[in-house]
Structure 1
């Protein structure tokens, strides 16, 4: 489906609204035509009484309250309601597990994350601008707490005399912020269904570029969580040094709290995290206002910084390294373009407004802090952040220093929430295209991407623990991934405008070209200048992730070729897809060669039912009775450890009546699963047109502690037979009375 991007004139070619139905994509026209051809040849024997079923499938025939079941006082029939003819709707009660332990865990989950939300609530789980702004800007705004410090830390390597370069470098970074912000402002209406670097680069530069952008963004999001939490914990330990030894446990706890908050859903998470962001904005405005007023009182005369010896000479490479370190203040600037569908209508317009606010505040805060730090004569030092020093110097008395540190710590800790919004959405788009596991398409009970959230939390916690929460060690890893995504996204938008060449495309192309060029400079500088400091880890990780994405896509492509619908043999050519021109070639991607397993019509299936029988008891007799009731050729197989046991079993079989053909296999090495699996494989090889239906009698154990008391051979047999083509395994359960 295509939809106009509002005021801008472009169409969302690949975007789709994020709904629970994304897990179940529709058939393409070729498959739909093939399905029709299959249906024309589908023949099944009629049931006695026509289409009448022995039960009412709508559950509406008998509404007397049944006896309580394993679900408790609520009867299963009350877990559904009839909305339309031949359609049932599961109620919230249908989520209730059947076991006591399951119900207890369900109540605990409901207490932590809230009750499940209906799929129809997805339209209401969207954010207003005032809520979306703090959620999506927390990463971007919080980065000013460590971005200027990262830039000055590199300049300080050449001595105190080079600190004056922070002003021109800060001005250059402001230009970069504005250029990239304007570039993403153009991306939003061009891709109003949510794009980000992955979709923009894929659409305009090819799949390889899109995967590199996705890998860079994934590294950025994981590092955003790790760095933000590390910086937030550092802010806490700067004010409370006694907590420094507990840095790692505190950080892991914060990641767990963020995960729990986001699992409650987008709207609930927004309500939780909105106040800390606005508190930080107010605190930073107060800090800058008072600081600049005091600087104006002394005529803007800069205070001399403490003398620091140079450990390396001033060079162009050092300046570029400082520039790229300061550019970490821009992490999170792409968050809005990724999350356009999370806004309320009109989505693209609200998202663009929020982006303008974010970039404007970023420029003001970054420029104000760089200038104020220069005027205050402050330099980075271990044990206390630069922002803490500035707050202490600006508010030497009173509670204001503590309030600013508390707001800074909260925004840094919650800045990771931006990644928790965008990382799962990126995985959703990738899974939709077959480059990531399809489980990331799933929306959880609270209409949040549960699997993506958990994956992000686990990856960030591992990195945080591996680096022991050291912000300085994590910063060098930061810029490469994010500016790789920036560069590819802006280069993709250049191609986007060049291809369309609609009204005003010249200045739009120029804006994106400037953003791409400046982002590329930062990318190359960070990759080269910080390669030995740890940036090589991100370079290698991006390459490995791209290879992983390609292998996943190859697997799903092979799966599609295997499962795609095609006309049955002898059905003649399929009709052209609906809407195609006469004589047009088929557009489906299914290969012309048929797969090995082609039994798609009832009349194509030739049965042989096989029942493994270990001993004659109630379970095995139930399995034999079920197999015989199917009216298909049936064979029983018994594995005996020696001849004497085989003879004894045949005597028992004859005493039963020899109603089913029996084959006995003597296994002198006492193995059971291997000989049986190989025997079935040999049977199938001798008649490849046969479908072997293996019916396994299985005792169902009610208590977990009973399981070690049984060999569970049924499960091992099922696992061994899964790899055999043309073999169907089914179970006949026998439930214990206790």
Structure 2
């Protein structure tokens, strides 16, 4: 199964498992390549078009001058030769801009580090000891609030109901093991990334895949919000004076996490390794000391304090408690989503890491539930139950403070799992056209910057909206998590039935058990917690699916519009007859359908407000193209139109002039409608509008100008068959 994830024989990693910058530029399919070849056979290059007036190689071995103080980079110094006929941009070839822009660039480099070469994606991957803390921080940290969430529901029926925590914990351990084993066999089946979106979409259809993706998106956003809320609560439990600062502290931590992840995978791993291992060590020490103390009294449980009954003990309450405790499983899927981020062999390392994670989760969760039961602890509003257990186990010394510090750190940093997987999910969705294509882009540090920012902003808004209260967020949390679990495991059941590899029956049975148990938790959480906030997720998931479908519809329409059309089989195409006004033409019959230079017919139009250097330069440029040229002047009244025509005659009437009187003093509207009318009368013409543009040196001077050329460009952009270009005139003061 994992052969595709191995290294190639030459020692290089297999790029098939990697997420590379090339994903933004998908190759042409065989049919498109065939059409492209047919178009090339008909292509007639105009005379002189291939005779360049300069050296396109930039004199590669010739030194060039230094960049000017305006930041206009000299290309000769910024390119090297990699292959014959190919230039390679060097590291200093950043985007030129204003002084403020360059200062911001330097600040970004200071905060996030220098940019990495695209080839570094082969090595910006994680070994198991680094991947474990990065990908397990969410899963392991959930034991800090999962047991408490379950007990908080049981205690509604009084202290006597807390005894049900042990059998419920046993059922949850069975669920953890079943889902963990299910994902372990999912990883080698999908070695390029086995997220619920891919598995469900591949086996259950597009709608199921998008539903799983919606659940995962909510899961990842709420992972950040819940983890930060729980972490801040751990801090305020130890330092009650910071309680009024809950929301600002949470937003600050989200910003720090964003900055850390923008520095790249390896840097983020180095930041988050220590807190995760420190938390595991602290909880293990808590369990060892706690059980040693319990052994001293013969493991006799301490009776919990009496708690008034707020709700009768019934099946619904027990199911709600079970689904609340099940949030301790959030993050199990993180490894299967991030398989390409592992070092080779990717799938094998990912599966080993997942095994470690599930084993540690079962040990910590079961150990904490048993210790809480032995000490008779109940949830309190002013202090987390883990804090209570720490105070009781470590009454003296610095150990309680260390436990709380480690807990707060991992809870605050547990959101990093979402920062690792949420952008990757958006990448896979964008690759299939179900999310904006901007999420395909890899930033300077080979991280998905757009996805990281989207996650941070959304999670911060939710955190602020709920005031940083964990209890308010958990009901929303469980539904999205187990929706993705259920669809992923159900998809694997279909996968095994289709492929029927050796041993497929017992693998199918294991995934079926995982799907059934996850589905029961999903149903319980959706019904039992519907009134507590789960209704938000029930509404949000279909809404996200609908949005994803609309995005895909747009990209499909765009692809149809940009698809290559085969030219006529033989002979040059005759010039098309003028079409009636308002009747559009198909490909080849309109200006936007022409793909061969011999089929393109031009009309160059130059809007002229007044005869000055800018307008004369624009008209000179237009006339130099050797195409039919028309000047257009918009006048607010007849008297001004007459004056302009007199000036035009004084210039020599070198071009055809059309004057339009606009008695309501509007300029952009009449010109846009005039060009639209021209296009409607001859759809086969390409209207090239050449706009004179004054380029100002200082941004502050923009307030002194109307910037009509920019408004005109924006208005004309919507017109088909219209090309807008500008001829700049730079003002040095």
Q: Shorter-chain-normalised TM-score: which range? A: over 0.9
Aligned mates of 2:152, 2:127 — CA distance in 1: 38
User: 1:420-455 CA deviation, whole Å, 9 max, x = no partner?
Assistant: 000000000000000000000000000000000000
SS in 2 for 1:698: strand
Q: Does 1:411 align with 2:406?
A: no
CA distance, structure 2, for counterparts of residue 460 and residue 284 of structure 1: 28
- Tell me the alpha carbon deviations over residues 39-62 of structure 1, each in whole angstroms, 9 at most, x when there is no partner: 0000022218xx442211111267
Specify the alignment match of 2:40 in structure 1: 39
Task: Flag the 1:61–1:81 CA change in 2: closer, same or farther, 3 A.
Answer: closer
* Alignment partner of 1:644 is 2:643: no
Separation (CA, whole Å) in 2 of partners of 1:165 and 1:556: 52
Equivalent residue, structure 2, for 1:438 = 437
Q: 1:68 to 1:147 in 2, by over 3 A?
A: closer
Determine the structure 2 residue equivalent to 1:732: 727
Q: How does 1:202-281 map to 2 (within 5 A)?
A: 202-281=201-280
Contact 2:20–2:121 (8 Å) recurs in 1: yes
In the TM superposition, 1:465-476 aligns within 5 A as 465-476=464-475
Aligned to 1:582: none
CA deviation after TM superposition for structure 1 residue 616, in Å: 0.2
8 A Cα contact 2:63 2:77, kept in partner: no
**For residues 595 and 273 of structure 1, what CA distance do their matches in structure 2 show?**
60
- In the aligned structure 2, how far is the partner of 1:373 from the partner of 1:284? 13
Aligned residue in 2 for 1:717? 712
2:349: which partner in 1?
350
**Could you say what secondary structure the match of 1:92 adopts?**
coil
Match of 2:577 in 1: none
CA gap 1:411/1:571 in 2 versus in 1, 3 angstroms: farther
- Residue by residue, what CA displacement relative to the aligned partner does 1:665-702 show, whole Å, maximum 9, x if unpaired? 11111111111111111111111111111000000111
**Structure 1 counterpart of 2:27:** 26
Query: Aligned ranges for residues 279-428 of structure 1 at < 5 Å?
Result: 279-428=278-427
1:122 aligns with 2:121: yes
Residues 67 and 311 from structure 1, CA distance in 2 versus in 1: closer, same or farther, beyond 3 angstroms?
Answer: closer
Give the C-alpha shift of residue 643 in structure 1.
Answer: 1.0
Structure 2 vs 1, CA of residues 2 and 90 (structure 1 numbering), >3 Å: closer, same or farther? farther
Seen in structure 2, the aligned counterparts of structure 1 residues 312 and 593 have a Cα distance that, compared at 3 Å, is: farther
Contact 1:132 1:270 in 2 (8 A): yes
SS at match of 1:176: helix
How far is 1:17 from its partner? Answer: 2.4
Q: Which residue does the alignment assign to 2:568?
A: 569
- Give, in whole Å, the separation in 2 of the partners of 1:77 and 1:278: 50
How has the CA–CA distance of structure 1 residues 2 and 531 changed in structure 2, closer, same or farther, with 3 Å as cutoff?
same
Gap change, CA 1:62 and 1:329, over 3 Å in 2: closer
Distance change >3 Å, CA 29–CA 389, structure 1 → 2 = same
Give me the whole-angstrom Cα distance separating, in 2, the residues matched to 1:42 and 1:96: 34
Query: Could you tell me whether the CA contact under 8 Å between 1:232 and 1:408 is conserved in 2?
Result: yes
Alignment pair present for 1:113 and 2:109: no
Are the aligned partners of 1:194 and 1:337 in contact in 2 as well (CA < 8 Å)? yes
Which sits farther off after the overlay, 79-88 or 726-735? 79-88
Counterpart residue number, 2:612: 617
Partner of 1:580: none
Q: Are the aligned partners of 1:608 and 1:690 in contact in 2 as well (CA < 8 Å)?
A: yes
Q: If the length of structure 1 is used for normalisation, what is the TM-score?
A: 0.94
CA deviation after TM superposition for structure 1 residue 473, in Å: 0.6
Q: 1:335 to 1:31 in 2, by over 3 A?
A: same
CA RMSD of aligned residues (A): 1.8
1:131 and 1:2 mapped to 2: Cα distance?
A: 21
Give the 3 Å change call, closer, same or farther, for CA 222–645 of structure 1 in structure 2: same
Counterpart check, 1:657 vs 2:657: no
Provide the rounded CA distance (Å) in 1 between the counterparts of 2:27 and 2:227: 40
Q: Who is 1:577 aligned against?
A: none
1:535 matched residue in structure 2: 534
Structure 1 residues 381, 190: CA separation in 2 closer, same or farther (over 3 Å shift)?
Answer: same
Report the equivalent of 2:100.
Answer: 101
SS at match of 2:694: strand
Listed one character per residue, the Cα deviations across residues 156-203 of structure 1 (whole Å, up to 9, x for unaligned) are: 011111111000000000000000000000110000011210000000
CA distance in 1 between counterparts of 2:67 and 2:271 reads 40
Shift of residue 29, structure 1, vs aligned partner? 0.7
Instruction: Give the Cα separation in 2 of the matches to 1:595 and 1:275.
Output: 65
Aligned partners of 2:176 and 2:362 also within 8 Å: yes
Q: Which runs of 4+ in 1 moved over 6 A?
A: 592-595
In 2, Cα distance between equivalents of 1:688 and 1:335: 53
> 1: CA distance between counterparts of 2:623 and 2:81?
37
Alignment partners' CA distance in 1, 2:528 and 2:71: 65
User: Does the 8 Å CA contact 1:608/1:633 hold for their aligned counterparts?
Assistant: yes
- My pick for the range that moved more, 601-610 or 249-258, is 601-610
Does the residue aligned with 2:593 lie in a helix, a strand or coil?
coil
> Does the 8 Å contact 1:673/1:717 carry over to 2?
yes
CA contact (8 A) 2:6 2:344 kept: no
Counterparts of residues 99-178 of structure 1 (less than 5 Å): 99-178=98-177
Q: What's the offset of the Cα at 1:99?
A: 2.3
- CA distance change for structure 1 residues 67 and 97 in 2, over 3 Å: closer, same or farther? closer
CA contact (8 A) 1:477 1:538 kept: yes
CA distance in 1, matches of 2:27, 2:408: 47
Q: Structure 1 residues 64 and 201 mapped into 2: Cα distance closer, same or farther (>3 Å)? A: closer
Residues 466 and 472, structure 2, Cα contact 8 Å, conserved in 1: yes
Q: What is the Cα deviation at residue 737 of structure 1? A: 2.6
Structure-2 separation of matches of 1:173 and 1:466? 31
Shift of 1:571: 5.3
Match of 2:517 in 1: 518
Encode CA deviations 1:585-606: one digit per residue, 9 max, x unaligned.
Answer: xxxxxxx987953111101111
- Does the 8 Å CA contact 1:70/1:99 hold for their aligned counterparts? no
- Kept in 2, the 8 Å contact 1:97–1:106? The answer is no
Aligned residues: 711
